[in-house]
Amino acid sequence: MSGQPSALTGMAAYAAAIAAELTEAVRGIDPAQAEAFAEALDGAANVFTAGAGRSGLMGKALAMRLMHSGSAAHVVGETTTPGIGPGDLLVIGSGSGETRTLVPMAEKARELGADVAVVTLKPDSTLARLATLVVRLPGASKSRDGDNYATIQPMGSLFEQTLLLFYDASVLRLMQRRELDTNRMYGKHANLE
């Protein structure tokens, strides 16, 4: 990818370029880290998701699918979110691994005996150092500071999209581990809408 959207024309060309970037990015996910993440999701008493901005939205999507798969899943900051403790897992998505609002959450979760999984571009970041489990996603950071990862997309889009794909793939692995199919999961779908 050239890194310049002006080289492409039309929505279909942009969509194809994004799909190609995502295909390349997911090839760079470490299978052992991915499996450890699925195991952590499967073994947690409660799963809490957190992230800032679009990464937080991807965390909400994960929490929803975890609930559909039978997990007790919660989004940090929602009014119905219970307290965290031993046996629980806090999942944080942060490209930089330095998001100032998320660092105290990780510290508090660890203090209270919970595990912390951080999905990030930066495995040497503050959040990664606080984590019990780190998954490194390939991609470009918002600032592009020190990055050599080519993308036509602005800011953290590639990370956020890869994060959603990784979370969805983790749910598929969890479904496999729990012998679930979409019909069984649909029984937990919202029915007041």
Q: What percent of the chain has pLDDT over 90?
A: 65
Which residues face 134 on adjacent strands?
Answer: 118
- For residue 160, indicate whether it is catalytic: yes
What domains can be seen in the chain, in order of their start residue? Answer: 5-186 (3.40.50.10490)
Tens of pLDDT along 122-156? 999 999 999 999 999 987 766 656 666 777 776 77
Considering the candidates 35, 78, 160, 193, report the single residue annotated as catalytic: 160
Model-level pTM?
A: 0.88
* Strand order across the beta sheet in which 89-93 lies: 73-75, 47-51, 89-93, 115-120, 133-136
- Using the predicted structure, report yes or no on whether residue 102 has a pLDDT greater than 50: yes
Identity (one letter) of the amino acid at 145? D
The band of 90, judged by pLDDT with boundaries at 50, 70 and 90, is very high
Rounded to whole angstroms, the Cα distance separating 47 from 184 reads 20
